[in-house]
Amino acid sequence: MSDRQHLEHFFAVAIEAVHGDTVLKKHLRVDAGPNHTHELVFSRGSVHLQWALPPSDGRLRLIALGKAALAMAAGALSVLREANLGPSLDAVLIITKDLPARDQLNKEITRAQAQLGVRCELMQGGHPVADERSLQAGQTLLEWVANSGEHDRYLVLLSGGASALAVQPVDGISLAEKTAWVQRLMQAGAAIDELNLLRRYLSRLKGGGLARAMAPASHLTLAISDVPGDDPRVIGSAPTLDYAAQPQAVRALCERYGFEQLMEQRVPPAAVSGAAPQAAYAVIATLEDALEAVCEEGRRLGYRLINRGRVFYGDLDTHVHDFCQALRLQASALSQQEPPYLIVAAGEPRLTLALDPAQPTCGEAAGGRAQHFALLCARELQGVAGVTVLAAGTDGSDGPTLAAGACVDGTTWAAIQAAGIEPQQALDHYRSHPALASVGALLTTGATGTNVADLFLGIVRCGDRDESDREIR
């Protein structure tokens, strides 16, 4: 295989390690409990959680929310079917980003209902910016959990993207106003914890809003994390965890980015009505799990590993420079007799868009964070032999594009120029997507069934090694 093929293989290995369907089938089970009851048990590494399923007079209902919702729902439903508990399900609601075409969607719903004997509803929300579909999904979600009883149980499967896919703004602010503030914060380079702080403040659904709406029913949340530190307050803006609004923290955030007008509007935080029931919550897959899988596979294939870890959460340009400097250093020191290096890193570097305020977006073909990272690497690695880089989002969608990211090497920059595109202008105008597409550098996977942030992988071998000698073993 070529170095690009090896990198794509490593990316696929990472996805499999954190795939919603795979993780739940492997680590979730149903055990017999006391008095002929059952309980769900999730056990992976240091995480071990037991949760009682409803008694005979209660309902078991499943909510899957986020980019990995379809895969997570498939895994959980498979576990319940194998335990002969499929018929005990009352209903299933799935809200996600990518759904099949309408006719195919109807077939999927019909098939699911026939297999499970359960009412199943699938909805699509907008992402990365919430839209009218998101508003409808949020309204449906709140209506769906209304009138819950104390013996009811909700299994909530949560993954990244949930903050935008289902929304219900607080009274006094419209969807357009809310999304405008969130977009401005995104373009200013705000971190995900800052974005989701604002989202919780402006939402009736987040920061425990869903949990309060489900009361007095109990609930279990199983989450795939795409955030630094795997903080439950940040994953999906915490719809099932009871966090009070934080006006002072939001005020400090707005002042930090020069958005004082938001607080001047005196936007009321979401009204808290009653306390949410005690939450059972487990993070079931993380970026760390993906990195460990890549490193294990790299060692198996004979690579020397440099694992930089989950460190790319600062300025994107700075991370590109440091990453490429490490790649060049290893390339200059390698001899033909030495095995190649695999350098891995992960995170969500901050890309601040220096745009005209009158032009709030760059267009659908602009490219995303991973593609911008890849094109910057192509510039820094011009003429460097033996180095190949992959930068991609684990959800399979980078920014507003259908590409997960891109794969580049020391020839990519010149190849783009030869294709008639000036790559520096593409960088300056945040249009990495068409530039990388012109030379076949894009990585397109489709929706992956998970979302744990971005991976950055580099292979370094002696530049004098013949192209035909790419097999490691």
Q: What is the pLDDT of residues 370-388, one digit of tens each?
A: 999 999 999 999 999 999 9
Rounded to an integer, what distance in angstroms lies between the CA atom of residue 304 and that of residue 342?
6
Average pLDDT of the residues in 447-465? 89
Q: Tokens for 171? A: 């009274």
> Is the fold of 3-10+288-460 the same as that of 20-285?
no
Q: How is domain 20-285 classified at the CATH fold level?
A: Rossmann fold (3.40.50)
Position 270 pLDDT exceeds 70:
no
**Residues 429/26, Cβ–Cβ less than 8 Å:** no
pLDDT at res. 129: 87
pLDDT at res. 255: 86
Give the whole-number percent of the chain exceeding pLDDT 70: 86
pLDDT at res. 185: 87
Q: What is the pLDDT of residues 42-53, one digit of tens each?
A: 999 889 999 999
pLDDT at res. 37: 78
Burial (0-12, 13-18, 19+ Cβ within 10 Å), 36: exposed
| The length of the chain, given as a count of residues | 473
**For the chain, domain boundaries:** 3-10+288-460, 20-285
pLDDT at res. 406: 98
More confident residue, 278 or 288: 288
pLDDT at res. 103: 64
Position 246 pLDDT exceeds 80:
no
Q: How is domain 3-10+288-460 classified at the CATH fold level?
A: glycerate kinase, domain 1 (3.40.1480)
Q: What is the pLDDT of residues 7-24, one digit of tens each?
A: 999 999 999 999 999 999
- The pLDDT confidence band at residue 470, using thresholds 50, 70 and 90, is very low
Position 362 pLDDT exceeds 70:
no
Q: What is the pLDDT of residues 20-44, one digit of tens each?
A: 999 999 999 999 876 777 899 999 9
The helix (H) or strand (E) run that includes residue 417 is: helix 412-418
pLDDT at res. 191: 87
- The pLDDT confidence band at residue 323, using thresholds 50, 70 and 90, is very high
- The pLDDT confidence band at residue 298, using thresholds 50, 70 and 90, is very high
Determine which of 123-127, 187-191, 411-415, 440-444 has the lowest per-residue pLDDT on average. 187-191
- The pLDDT confidence band at residue 472, using thresholds 50, 70 and 90, is very low
Position 310 pLDDT exceeds 80:
yes
Tell me which amino acid residue 8 is: E
pLDDT at res. 361: 47
Position 115 pLDDT exceeds 70:
no
- The pLDDT confidence band at residue 437, using thresholds 50, 70 and 90, is very high
Only one residue has tokens 């120029």, namely: 417
Average pLDDT of the residues in 140-152? 94
Q: Tokens for 399? A: 């920014």
One DSSP character per residue, 37-55 reads: -EEEEEEETTEEEEEEPP-
More confident residue, 286 or 117: 286
- Which span out of 55-59, 163-167, 169-173, 362-366 was modeled with the highest average pLDDT? 163-167
- Mean residue pLDDT across the chain: 88
Half-sphere exposure of 352 (CA within 13 A, CB side): 9
Position 278 pLDDT exceeds 80:
no
pLDDT at res. 365: 57
Rounded to an integer, what distance in angstroms lies between the CA atom of residue 334 and that of residue 195?
43
Average pLDDT of the residues in 428-436? 95
- pTM value? 0.90
One DSSP character per residue, 447-461 reads: --S----EEEEEEE-
158, 178, 162, 283: which is closest to 228 by C-alpha? 283
Is there a cis peptide before residue 340, judged by omega within 30 degrees of 0? no
Position 277 pLDDT exceeds 60:
no
Rounded to an integer, what distance in angstroms lies between the CA atom of residue 140 and that of residue 279?
22
